[in-house]
Amino acid sequence: MFFRSKSADPVPPTDDENLGAISTGKGHATPKRKAAEALNRRPLVPADRKAAGKTDRAAARTLRDREYQAMQSGDERYLPAKHQGPVLRFVRDHVDARWNLGEFFLPIAMTFVVATFFFSKNQAAAAIIILILYAVVIITVIDAAIMWRTLKKRLALSFGDRARVRGVMMYAVMRAFQIRRARLPKPQVKHGEYPVA
């Protein structure tokens, strides 16, 4: 009654079964460390340095050409890394849709510099020209600050926490101060066509 039958005892595995269990696995021995490192080892300097340099230059030229075409067309896939992403696309479109005083700053400044040469003998006129130029600078900076404040609110509404605020302000302001035709990537929207995320 309190004894177990002999048939209930577990049967120990035979040697053949043990060998079968051992043989199942990856099928080969683990390579030694030296052998594994030798497989991954590549020469620092290629055998044919001239051919390798030619290949590298050709690849770099192809990449530059592709990035230049993307800068002209606005193709997101091949833009340089500093221009990629939906947030930066939104920033570019917002700046390009707006009439920014910064885009007229360079021509105005050059005009005032030329005017100071003409009125160099008349100190009163030269002083007035310089004061007007300073006023233009201040107004342009205020306009850029208003642009960034509006853009920051739109970025928060459109992207929330996904908006990369760090570095985006300088990206927007620098673009706003560039002449529209000289901007890269090229503007993809007309004035008044503000982006919708």
What is d(CA 135, CA 195) in angstroms, rounded to the nearest whole number? Answer: 31
Q: Taking a C-beta distance cutoff of 8 angstroms, is the pair 180, 96 a contact?
A: yes
Whether the bond between 86 and the residue before it is cis, its omega within 30 degrees of 0, is no
Q: Tell me if residue 182 falls in helix, strand or coil.
A: helix
DSSP at 3: S
pLDDT tens digits for range 106-162: 999 999 889 888 888 888 888 898 899 999 999 999 999 999 999 999 998 998 877
Which regions of the chain are under pLDDT 50?
17-21, 23
pTM of the model: 0.68
pLDDT at 21: 47
Helices (H) and strands (E) in the chain, counts: 7, 0
pLDDT at 122: 87
pLDDT at 32: 85
Residue 175: partners with Cβ closer than 8 Å, 6 or more residues away? 91, 92, 95, 96, 183
| Crossing angle for the helix pair 123-159 and 86-97, to the nearest 10 degrees | 140
Q: What is the mean pLDDT of the chain?
A: 83
